[in-house]
Structure 1
Amino acid sequence: MWGQLCIFFGGAGLFVYVTRKLNPGSWDNWNNKYRVKDDLYLFPLAIQLFRHYVIQCLITKKFTLWYEYENLSLGKNSDSKIAVNYPRQIKDFKEFGEGAFVVESLTYRELYNEVLRMSFILHHDYGIAKGDVVTMFFMNKPLFIIIWLALWNLGATPTFINYNLTSNPLVHCIKVVESRIVLVDDECINTFNKTRSQLESELPHLSIRIIDETSTMAQLREPARQTYRESDKIRDSGVRYWDPAVLVYTSGTTGLPKSAVNSWRKLFMATHLFPRSMHMDSSSNIYTAMPLYHGTASILGVLPALLVGGTISIGHKFSLSSYWTQVKLCDSNTIQYVGEVCRYLVDSKETANEADCYGKIKLAYGNGLRPDIWMKLKKRFHIPVIGEFYSSSEAPFATTCYEYNGIGVGALRNNGYLLDKFLSLQYKLVRMDPEDETSIYRNPKTGLCEDPGVNEKAEMIMRILNPKSIKTTFPGYVNDDAATYSKIIRNVFKEGDAWVRSDDLMRKDELGCIYFVDRMGDTYRWKSENVSTTEVENQILEFVPEIQSCVIVGARVKNHEGRAGYLLVQTVNNNSENQAQREKILDDIYKVGQNHLPHFARPVFVVFENISFTDNHKISKKLFRDPVLPNGKNGNMKVYYLDNQTKGYRPLDGVTYAQIANGKIRL
């Protein structure tokens, strides 16, 4: 692989040199079409990756990123270079404006010292040691990063969990990774306590530790406080590059969340290849208000910032009114987004300190940015570059789009010709069955799959480097081999090869730019989260006995990113209930959403509909896909929507839907 990469870029460099010397005009035209200059920018990275790969895999065998972080923390300027900013809100923003925040900053050396002090507490007070799986139920704050790095120091594996989870999903998430201990942010204690008795009953050996932020941070700032650094020999013992560095969770098609392995190999790519493709360096100051339990903010936010020697500025949570104030106070020059956040920013009236940030943001990067919002974001906030990426919690790597000149607007990849050829060795688009877009097409004569045509719907698949050892490339999901291997497809382009399915439909245009089309299967995306339809349906059926069958699909909502949950229910009385009885069922559905589902998975729309089964007693969800709002395809369906003001489901009509579309009513 590395030899192929060097041949690609070396040959390209020679060709470019000769072309520019002989015919400068021809070079300009050629470069605009094939973007070779952009590809050559990544050439030094090829050498770096190869050198690091050889040294790490064959000589030192130090796969953990702890050492790279430590070297930066003890290196030149570590006493003055800011590693982490945190705008802590201490007053009411409407009343005090900028004065509502105090920016807490840690230099690289300060952060490192606090990590070592936290390591002492975790090791000596909590008994955490090499090999332990530790669940973190935490909100965004510096303590999240401190504990994370301290666990790496100890050789433990951090597990980032959604702090909105309760009930069965929370129990499952802790159980499936065989976590020995869960560390709970005291700010999340009310949510956690809703499930605490269930956890203590079902997992009696689980140690639950509530971390008081105020007292803990006070201890970490004491210079005389004891520190602990684990020995390299213990930390490195038995570690392989495909072992988990971090565990995060993803919704799937089997019901409850799955814990996705993010290996040291994947994180190495995230901290070397990704920053280079996004033109990040030590001057980058990245502001993110995305939740750190998500790989977007942690793996592609915190790690790239810290391991290029830059600054990560973390918002406690997303706030539209104070967003630009926090960006200004942190002096950030880069912002991280998910698509829905950009829509909020673009559609809002000018907010406080917004104009102060014009021209100061060099890059906005993230995933899920709609094409119609893309250029509006750049224009309104004077941002020259959008960096869109595509990845998933379990995917072996990511694709990137660095758009600065109009090529690739709305794309998730816009690499040039040379890099495209090389990356096609790692991932490709594969043609789908024209009769069923959820099935990959195979040529009836050869039995092999085919490349799609230009702009044809296709699934992205990722190559398994060693088909005889799947998990060295795709570790998959923790303690769930069935789910892991269900994503593998074999004998795709030649006999014996193996690839990972993404379950996402894409298309490639004439220039080779790749665009997201839609998700496949039993998940949909809402509020930047993947929602498992099976999980929602199971919770509804378990707690609302009046419902006999139900189906939830994703519904497109005008001017909204993703798809909102659209629940179809059939009662035990075949929907013959009167209005008062239906309202009682709707109230019960609302309670299930509040008590047993994270906010993004709660049904936004509900309809009473007869649900038919196939001959093998399964519900054909294809019959219910792409529902039409506000009143169905025939215009006569009575739809109820989740009214957050009145805390229940209310009838949806054209006027109400128009208010939802223009943002007057927030879903």
Structure 2
Amino acid sequence: MYILYTLVAAVAIVPLLLKLYFPYFWSDCSFMISLARSFITFAKRRLRKPMFTVLDRFFEHAAQHPHKTFLVFEDDAYSYRDADERSNRMAQALKRHAGLKEGDTVALYMGNEPAFVFCWLALAKLGCSAALLNNNIRAKSLLHCFNCCGAKVIIAASELGNSVREVLPSLQEQNVKVFVLAKQWSTPGMETLADKVEEAQNEPIPQSARSKITFESPAVYIYTSGTTGLPKAALINQERLLAAMEVLSSNRITQEDVIYINLPLYHAAGFIIGFVGSIVTGSTVILKRKFSVSQFWDDCRKHNVTVIQYIGEVLRYLCNTPKRDNDRDHRVRLALGNGVRPDVWKEFLNRFGAIEVREFYGATEGNLVFLNYTGKIGAVGREIFILKKLFRYAVIKYDTAKDEPVRDSNGFCIEACKGETGLLVSKITKISPFYGYVRNAQQTEKKRLHNVFQKGDVYFNSGDLMKIDKDNFVYFQDRVGDTFRWKGENVATTEVSDILTMLDFIAEANVYGVEVKEGHEGRIGMAAVTLKEEKQFDCVKMYSHVACYLPGYARPRFLRIQDSLEITGTFKQMKVKLVQEGFNPAVVQDPLYFLEENQKSYVSMTPEIHSLIMSGKIKL
């Protein structure tokens, strides 16, 4: 009997000891079990014949519950059957009038709207891949992104037709077929599509039309600024999209959930996490054209939203709105996203209630994902021994001044200690491949880091500085290289520099991001420029130029005019000192300018303007 009592007591005390010494043990176990189930499901689907894709998962839901609401947009609701039928007509129209065949690529140039969803489903049915163009890009950037993916067809929303018309001569030189989602369009060389879809038959596309598609075949091209240059097309093949489906299912989202998507569908977050994620689970999507802070919670209440997506800025905007008595009157239970600051995270929970925030980390083209499944505020994920051995990632020592990894006497990288900030790298293997950027071997190679821990190994260079604490939580620290993040968008400094030097009075431009400490996430754009001989700085012309060529988040809000730009011995522009000095006229002796939207001009930066910005009275 004594032995029995001892065993009972031991069993009873084990949970207490685990909670005391291993507080995240059960969370780790639960996550690993969930992940194991996802891997098993992926493996089963991977072995199915014929090949199983995201489209097949959509077909399953359309067959099982055809009348369930799949998509809600403004005042319109579409069931799974509606989406199936509309995408059938879209596919038939494209097959007939665009001559699409299996393996072709089509560029989608549109914002968030049902047509985007129907177009992608239609292309999948035809065995075609889609290049998801950012609907903010124009002119040179638009042509560059289009040419990256090798598409011969572009489909543009009606409101973006004029932007396509500006580059139409270049498209016509390449024999590109241009369609506008409108019933009428007068420009020669641009065909209407909406009328053709209406006339098309609701005839399903047979599986044989996509029978040659393999797991290596492209599913979508998603563009990323990466670290340098113009946007680059990251290849997402069928296998990776299928794998993403299973990872998403580990977030305990079910077909009973209602997902609110206000992030752009051309982004990996909006498309893969939001749209593809809803297909995985069979849930309902509430689609918005764009994020609206004033409509956010009213929409959530109206549609009984249970899952929201965010980038750090979204939660901050919500927290900055005036408090209301019904702030906690909603059904949202899960927020999934990345980039939220710890203080905003805490304020969001305190104000809007017990919402589970699942912060994650991952790059569109990357081969590693972290997920914070414990709710630890500030962390992007958690290091687990088994996953580290499986995916072979590491945080290595990094010299930010030299902008390169620290290597030992043998030429190998050095793993950072617990609590030390370093560069995140992940070994490129069959389990965690890196496919690179389409038609951009140079930029692809820049993301590969060779001879990291032994001769001949190759790792993916994330370009991100991370830290892993003594409790194995992973924290994002900063970005290295030539990219900064503002309003949830990556801004490539060299692209902005190229745009600025197009002006006839700008000789050189060094673009970088600076912090605005008063409640602003990320870094805002600033440029140090030199003027050409005998040229004057034109404030109005500068504003008109950046407004024409750059989306709002990429426009330099501050300008600094210098006599010369500092460079390193290897002719790299020096940014560290410029970033540290920022835009304070009390610190910077060079002429400073501020982009004033209301005046449509750059104006001289004064101590008064600086004070208003830092106090939050001038919104950026």
TM-based fold match above 0.5: yes
Partner of residue 630, structure 1:
584
- CA distance in 1 between partners of 2:614 and 2:285 (Å): 34
Partner of residue 275, structure 1:
249
Residues 228, 483 of structure 2: 8 Å contact kept: no
The residue correspondences of 1:212-361 to structure 2 (distance < 5 A) are: 212=182, 226-239=201-214, 241-276=215-250, 278-350=251-323, 355=326, 358-361=329-332
Residues 556, 564 of structure 1: 8 Å contact kept: yes
SS at match of 1:402: coil
| More divergent stretch after superposition (280-289 vs 296-305) | 280-289
SS at match of 1:60: coil
Matched, 1:426 2:426: no
Matched, 1:371 2:371: no
TM-score by length of 2: 0.91
- CA distance in 1 between partners of 2:51 and 2:141 (Å): 35
**Structure 2: where are the runs of 5+ without partners?**
1-7, 185-191
Of residues 421, 427, 432, the one that matches 1:463 is: 427
Partner of residue 525, structure 2:
565
Residues 340, 527 of structure 1: 8 Å contact kept: yes
TM-score by length of 1: 0.84
Query: Structure 1 residue 564: deviation in Å?
Result: 1.0
Specify the code of the residue in structure 1 equivalent to 2:504.
P
Specify the code of the residue in structure 2 equivalent to 1:460.
L
- CA distance in 2 between partners of 1:371 and 1:356 (Å): 20
Query: Structure 1 residue 427: deviation in Å?
Result: 4.8
- CA distance in 1 between partners of 2:217 and 2:40 (Å): 20
Of residues 574, 577, 591, the one that matches 1:620 is: 574
Specify the code of the residue in structure 2 equivalent to 1:179.
A
Specify the code of the residue in structure 2 equivalent to 1:157.
S
State the number of aligned residues.
Answer: 604
Relative to structure 1, is the Cα distance of residues 439 and 82 closer, same or farther in structure 2, using a 3 angstrom cutoff? same
What is the RMSD computed on CA atoms of the aligned residues? 2.7
Residues 120, 228 of structure 1: 8 Å contact kept: yes
Relative to structure 1, is the Cα distance of residues 229 and 42 closer, same or farther in structure 2, using a 3 angstrom cutoff? farther
Query: Structure 1 residue 626: deviation in Å?
Result: 3.3
Query: Structure 1 residue 608: deviation in Å?
Result: 0.6
Of residues 410, 413, 431, the one that matches 2:381 is: 413
Partner of residue 415, structure 2:
451
Matched, 1:28 2:19: yes
- CA distance in 2 between partners of 1:302 and 1:265 (Å): 17
Relative to structure 1, is the Cα distance of residues 51 and 359 closer, same or farther in structure 2, using a 3 angstrom cutoff? closer
Relative to structure 1, is the Cα distance of residues 654 and 422 closer, same or farther in structure 2, using a 3 angstrom cutoff? same
Partner of residue 551, structure 2:
598
- CA distance in 2 between partners of 1:666 and 1:323 (Å): 20
Relative to structure 1, is the Cα distance of residues 235 and 507 closer, same or farther in structure 2, using a 3 angstrom cutoff? same
Partner of residue 69, structure 2:
82
Specify the code of the residue in structure 2 equivalent to 1:439.
E
Specify the code of the residue in structure 1 equivalent to 2:440.
D
Query: Structure 1 residue 47: deviation in Å?
Result: 4.0
- CA distance in 2 between partners of 1:182 and 1:42 (Å): 43
Deviations 1:635-659, CA, capped at 9 Å, x for gaps: 5444211111111111223332333
SS at match of 1:49: helix
Residues 401, 412 of structure 1: 8 Å contact kept: yes
Deviations 1:348-371, CA, capped at 9 Å, x for gaps: 2147xx826535210112111111
Deviations 1:376-424, CA, capped at 9 Å, x for gaps: 11111114211111122211342211344xxx21111136xxx443245
Deviations 1:432-490, CA, capped at 9 Å, x for gaps: 24574632222214x332321122111111221149xxxx8111111112221221123
Relative to structure 1, is the Cα distance of residues 259 and 158 closer, same or farther in structure 2, using a 3 angstrom cutoff? same
Relative to structure 1, is the Cα distance of residues 55 and 322 closer, same or farther in structure 2, using a 3 angstrom cutoff? closer
- CA distance in 1 between partners of 2:330 and 2:227 (Å): 43
Residues 430, 440 of structure 1: 8 Å contact kept: no
Deviations 1:514-542, CA, capped at 9 Å, x for gaps: 11111111111112111111111111112
Query: Structure 1 residue 587: deviation in Å?
Result: 2.3
Of residues 112, 135, 143, the one that matches 2:84 is: 112
Partner of residue 495, structure 2:
535
- CA distance in 2 between partners of 1:51 and 1:300 (Å): 18
- CA distance in 2 between partners of 1:331 and 1:217 (Å): 32
Partner of residue 94, structure 1:
none
SS at match of 1:474: coil
Partner of residue 187, structure 2:
none
The residue correspondences of 1:142-161 to structure 2 (distance < 5 A) are: 142-161=114-133
Residues 324, 357 of structure 1: 8 Å contact kept: no
Of residues 534, 544, 555, the one that matches 2:514 is: 555
SS at match of 2:135: coil
**Structure 1: where are the runs of 5+ without partners?**
1-16, 89-101
Relative to structure 1, is the Cα distance of residues 365 and 63 closer, same or farther in structure 2, using a 3 angstrom cutoff? same
Partner of residue 400, structure 1:
371
Partner of residue 608, structure 2:
655
Partner of residue 59, structure 2:
70
Query: Structure 1 residue 662: deviation in Å?
Result: 4.3
Specify the code of the residue in structure 2 equivalent to 1:116.
N
Residues 387, 401 of structure 1: 8 Å contact kept: yes
Of residues 568, 580, 588, the one that matches 2:541 is: 588
Relative to structure 1, is the Cα distance of residues 488 and 61 closer, same or farther in structure 2, using a 3 angstrom cutoff? farther
| More divergent stretch after superposition (246-255 vs 549-558) | 246-255
